[in-house]
């Protein structure tokens, strides 16, 4: 995330840019562009581990004024957005048990017996 380098010089714009990047990724993944609460609820279904980071980082990004967040809060928000970015962009590996169950179901529909 290029925003990380900017965060030292201009922390608030960097945090806002990181939030915009997360929003763009979510939109590209098919999440509707809704209000924060709806987006958070939608996100929590597939990515429950990132919800707290999403809420905390977003709270820092949308604070009005320049002096409302400390340098540490901006730094923490950037770390939280980075965690979200990593989670959203990692390649999802299919669950082997689910894949095996689907294969077994397809075979049983075709009349093929599968013993483990």
The two tokens of residue 54 are: 């999403």
Q: In 50-65, which positions are buried (b, 16+ CB within 10 angstroms) versus exposed (e)?
A: beebbeebbebbeeee
pLDDT at 113: 54
Mean pLDDT of 97-104: 68
Q: 41: Cβ–Cβ under 8 A, 6 or more apart, which residues?
A: none
Q: What is the pTM of this model?
A: 0.66
Q: How many CB atoms lie within 10 A of CB 28?
A: 9
Number of H helices and number of E strands within the chain? 6, 0
pLDDT at 92: 62
pLDDT at 3: 46
* Domain map (residue ranges) of the chain: 3-109
The upper half-sphere exposure of residue 43, i.e. CA atoms within 13 Å in the direction of its Cβ, equals: 24
pLDDT tens for 30-64 read 888 878 888 888 888 888 878 888 888 888 887 76
Q: CA-CA distances (angstroms) from residue 56 to 16, 51, 97, 113?
A: 13, 9, 34, 51
- Output 81 or 110, whichever has higher pLDDT: 81
Q: What percent of the chain has pLDDT over 70?
A: 66
Distance CA 93, CA 115 (A): 25
């Amino acid at each position: 995330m290029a925003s990380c380098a900017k965060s030292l010089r201009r922390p608030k714009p960097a945090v806002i840019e990181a939030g915009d990047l997360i929003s763009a990724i979510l939109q590209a993944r098919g999440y509707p562009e809704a209000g924060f609460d709806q987006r958070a609820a939608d996100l929590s279904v597939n990515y429950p581990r990132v919800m707290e980071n999403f809420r905390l980082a977003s709270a820092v990004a949308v604070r009005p004024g320049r002096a409302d967040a400390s340098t540490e809060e901006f730094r923490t928000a950037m770390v939280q957005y980075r965690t979200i970015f990593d989670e959203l962009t990692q390649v999802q590996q299919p669950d082997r048990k689910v894949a095996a169950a689907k294969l077994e179901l397809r075979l049983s529909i075709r009349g093929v017996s599968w013993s483990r």
